Every structure is written in C-alpha cells, then in structure tokens.
Amino acid sequence: MGLRIVGVGLGRTGTHSLKLALEQLLGTPCHHMLEVIAHPEQVGLWSAAAEGRPDWDRIFDGYGATVDWPSAGFWREVVSAYPDATVLLSRRQSADAWWTSAHRTIFEMFDRFDPADPDTKEAAGWMETMRGIVGRNRIDPDDEAASKAGYERHLADVRAAVPSQRLVDWLPSDGWKPICDALGVPEPAEPFPHVNSTEEFRAMTGLDG
C-alpha cells in the first residue's frame, strides 16, 4: 500500500509520540528508530541506503508511516518515492530547545560504544553509520552552533521543497487536529500521546546510570 505519512522532522521533535499517534490513526505500524532496534535485520538495509543503495519498498514494507531518524536523513528521497503521502514536518519551539533535548539524549549515545570492544563493536559500527545519516541533515553531534544552523536549514529546505498543500508543519502542542485534517479522519477522544521526555530517554538507555 505504501506510506501514507512521510515524517521529515529530525529526532527529538516528538517523533516517538507521533509514532504512537500515527499507529492509532492508521492502524498500521509507523517506522521509527525503535523499529531498527527491534528488528536488527534492518541495520543492513539502512547501511545500504547510506551507501547509496536504498530499497525503500523493502525498508517500509508493512509500514503506513515513517518518522524520526534514520528516514529523516533521506527525507528528499523518501518524499519523492511516495508522492501520494502527506509530508509531516515535526519541530520544536526553537533550535535551542531541539539542541538541548538532542544533545542530552541521542547525541550522547554516539560515544557509548567502543569499536575496539568485541561486545560493542557491532553497535559502534551502527552508531558510526548513524552519524553519517544525521550528517545528511547538516547536523554535527559535536558542534552545537553547526547543529542549530543545520536544524534551521532543514526546516527551510523542507518548506521550500514540499508544496504547502502536501505539508503539515507540526509542533507537539498542535496535537491531533492538523494530522487528522490531513488524513481526513476524526480526532480521537483521548489526549494526544506525549512520551519519551529527556528524562524518560535517559532512564531507558541508562545514560544516568
């Protein structure tokens, strides 16, 4: 059936909450970095995409939507591959807010695995691949100023490339309405899910351990 929603927002813009919301609205799984963790066989597919050999139909087989990295690193290609999909640009209130969250969560993970340690070598290799994928959005996890500029440039690039009638420009505080309007479905009665705060992420991954 193909993707109905292509999420092009960077990680730490409410993407885990969006995953849960979109799965509820569409009744199908939504791709997110959590899917790569849950299905390690996907690592090879994303590594091939990073090397210029993507197989989007295979990567997204069974999914009705995608959000978060790694797909956000290939947003132009995925948007083009699924021309009938709504494009969902999730963002934070500011580049500062985004950097603070990303720096204390995702970016700390990049240096937790030692490529010289047999127990973490495989994970370290994937982290290196992810550095390259994140870099496609002009984000440098070690450079705050460059990353903030890359974040702002990403928003501008998406808005310039995607026709307004196809684009949903979304903040977590917007909740259900813009997404439901785009999909032509009623808003659920229950509150929009808000999960995976910085504190929850750090506890889940042991960053504070």
10-residue stretch averages of pLDDT, the chain, 209 residues long: 94 96 97 94 96 97 97 98 98 96 90 78 88 96 97 98 97 97 96 83 68
Domain ranges, residue 46 = 5-205
Tell me the two tokens of residue 56. Answer: 């989007």
Give the 3-state secondary structure of residue 192: coil
Cα separation, 95 vs 152, in Å, equals 7
* Residue closest to 42 by CA, chosen among 19, 24, 69, 15: 69
In one letter, which amino acid is 13? T
pLDDT at residue 79, rounded to an integer: 98
Residues 6+ apart with CB under 8 A from 58: 45
CATH number at residue 62: 3.40.50.300
- Mutual angle of helices 144-161 and 95-103, in 10-degree steps: 120
Q: In one letter, which amino acid is 105?
A: T
Helix and strand numbers (H, E) in the chain are 11, 5
pLDDT of residue 145: 98
Question: Domain count of the chain?
Answer: 1
